[in-house]
Structure 1
């Protein structure tokens, strides 16, 4: 009898292939897909989804370090139509490691609400950054694959926004008269927002921005 761990290991191997839809169709033909989950089918919609995920994975994988896990994005594509409760139960049954289960649950159950926020027409760069910066890389690839109307924003985040950093340090704030406190984080968050939105460019701009915002400090 196949143990859950054995099924999981076999599935990880199979979904690490670059054409996962072939694997899924083969498993369905062998009636083996239902042993993974009774609700799973290789419908044309599921096959198209897996193909789109592969296109996005191949396009974006080298933009991340380390590379996102191919089997995770493919598994998200396979389980995407299940409810969050069913995905959680499935991860428990398969004895999936917590770090992998979290990626699978986020990718299958939380993306639709996240994408709603990204669909705002005149969204600021700082808002795009805030929405995408907290996500697993695998989730970002799935959003790119399944939601064409926010693809441009995802690409902007991956190629540009996620690399934007501020130059000012805690020592700079102390030199300006600030006392070490939670206000440091507030200042740095505001600086990053302003930089993402193109309001400041260099360290001199940052210092001027801080002085203007915190005149009475």
Structure 2
């Protein structure tokens, strides 16, 4: 008789199973810093292994080529990273019906986006535009008529009816933001962030 794998043996990243996470003793209010450093390492392994490294591999695979066709695939992975990071920051066990809110929370606070949209009052509308014409278009239909992807220019440029994205700079900016997020988890004095990260990962690991 075929048996289902135990939830504890579920691989949650390239190098860790749910059991590794469940074995941690994570108290946001009375923290064991070694335990929280390990927790951050597990989360880093998960996001890098599932999203950031595959996107990097696609970027590297096109180096030196005269025609580049992986841009939308790279952005689709990076859009997932945006939603995932913000989901952990907010402590959401799942993202059903929350994707738009997560994008509109992440982007206006992200320095590359702020630099691309210098007028603060415009950031909410532009983050919505990138969500609808980028994340939703690519994930729902695999194409978009409103985004031009390249490897030069600013990270993001918004013009009437079109969003230009330097997908290499976009990805690099996202990697840097993710590393800051991981550092914040490891830094003492962030009990609310740690509590939210634990809530979400506990749900993933069914703890």
| TM more than 0.5 | no
- What TM-score, normalized to structure 2? 0.28
Structure 1 or 2: more helix by fraction: 1
TM-score with structure 1 setting the length: 0.27
